[in-house]
Amino acid sequence: MSSVNTGTTGVTTRYWDCCKASCAWPGKAQVTNPVKTCSSDGVTAVDSNAQSGCDGGNAYMCNNQQPWSVNTTLAYGYAAANIAGQSEATWCCACYALHFTSGSVIGKQLVVQVTNTGGDLGNNHFDLQMPGGGVVTKNTPAISHTVIKNGQGAVYEWQSDTITVRLTGAQTQGLFTLTEDVMKPTFKLGLHLHRKHAETFHIIEGDVEFRLGTETHVAQAGTTIHVPSNTPHAVQVINGKQARMIMLYSPAGFENFLKEMKTFTDEQFADEIFMKAFNDKYDNIQLE
């Protein structure tokens, strides 16, 4: 953990863009590896020498470089920074504990790893990486609008449901994946949680039971349920009829989970150790 001199005050803002971080270039600091960069899907790793997508290359910010909470007073995340008396060689990949002294987060702590350098930031300024936080002054690649018509999108058929991917991370700048799920009366998803992802469900048809922590809710057509990260939840179709829902998975990446799982053999599905490693890889923490 690095120090910015005990008692030093600073400023925090927030941003989220698709540019390759400054600390992702080799040689910026004496570290084992520079900050990881990804392709436009926000998940697939690319070479550390690849040019930034903001400059015509194929290297972008990775979807998982965003904050996650440990409890109500402590969270971890990433930031761009400009620290008085230091340089990129000092702050790149270093970690800092930020103690908030004002606003709705007063008394809380955020531990950040510095992954970027803010050329427009003042001294002791941390620009926190948060989805929806805005872009930096440098122009980012233009993201065109997307129209997905009926029948379009990758389709994944499973034993008890069929999932159609409506929007991918490449189409949403890594912010979210949008899917439509048609579930048979036998559909049941056991208790699990996501440490770094949130899910929002909108029921279109049928009756779906959601177990959220210690509460149980029956969602019918028109109901929307948001499940934050670190929230244990289970989903089950009830009343013996088909159900259909839209799911928004944030940040993006669920499409990669589906694509990889589609390649599995029956033997792999039956291998508990293999499946646990796979689920952990995609932030699916199974609780039962």
Distance from C-alpha of 15 to C-alpha of 65, rounded to nearest angstrom: 12
Rounded to 5 degrees, φ, ψ at 275 are -70, -35
Rounded to 5 degrees, φ, ψ at 136 are -80, 180
Query: Are 170 and 123 in a shared domain?
Result: no
User: Which structural domain range is residue 32 located in?
Assistant: 11-129
Are 83 and 90 contacting, i.e. CB atoms less than 8 angstroms apart? yes
Query: Are 34 and 95 in a shared domain?
Result: yes
Average pLDDT over residues 131-146: 58
Distance from C-alpha of 197 to C-alpha of 228, rounded to nearest angstrom: 7
Confidence of residue 3 (pLDDT cuts 50, 70, 90): very low
Query: Are 216 and 253 in a shared domain?
Result: yes
Tens-digit pLDDT profile for residues 154-209: 999 999 999 999 999 878 877 899 999 999 999 999 999 999 899 999 999 999 99
Query: Are 113 and 232 in a shared domain?
Result: no
- Tokens 């930020």 — which residue? 98
Query: In the chain, how many domains are there?
Result: 2
Query: Are 162 and 270 in a shared domain?
Result: yes
The DSSP code for 169 is: G
Tens-digit pLDDT profile for residues 235-271: 999 999 999 999 999 988 899 999 999 999 999 999 9
Say if 145 falls within a structural domain: no
Contacts of 86 (CB under 8 A, 6+ apart): 4
Structure tokens at 78: 């990433």
Say if 24 falls within a structural domain: yes
What is the helix (H) or strand (E) element at residue 126, kind and residue range?
strand 125-129
Helix spans in the chain (H): 88-91, 254-261, 266-270, 272-281
Say if 134 falls within a structural domain: no
Structure tokens at 122: 């003042």
Rounded to 5 degrees, φ, ψ at 177 are -115, 135
Query: Are 22 and 113 in a shared domain?
Result: yes
Distance from C-alpha of 67 to C-alpha of 230, rounded to nearest angstrom: 12
Query: Are 125 and 186 in a shared domain?
Result: no
pTM: 0.62
CATH classification at residue 103? 2.40.40.10
Query: Are 60 and 15 in a shared domain?
Result: yes
Say if 159 falls within a structural domain: yes
User: Catalytic residue positions?
Assistant: 17, 127
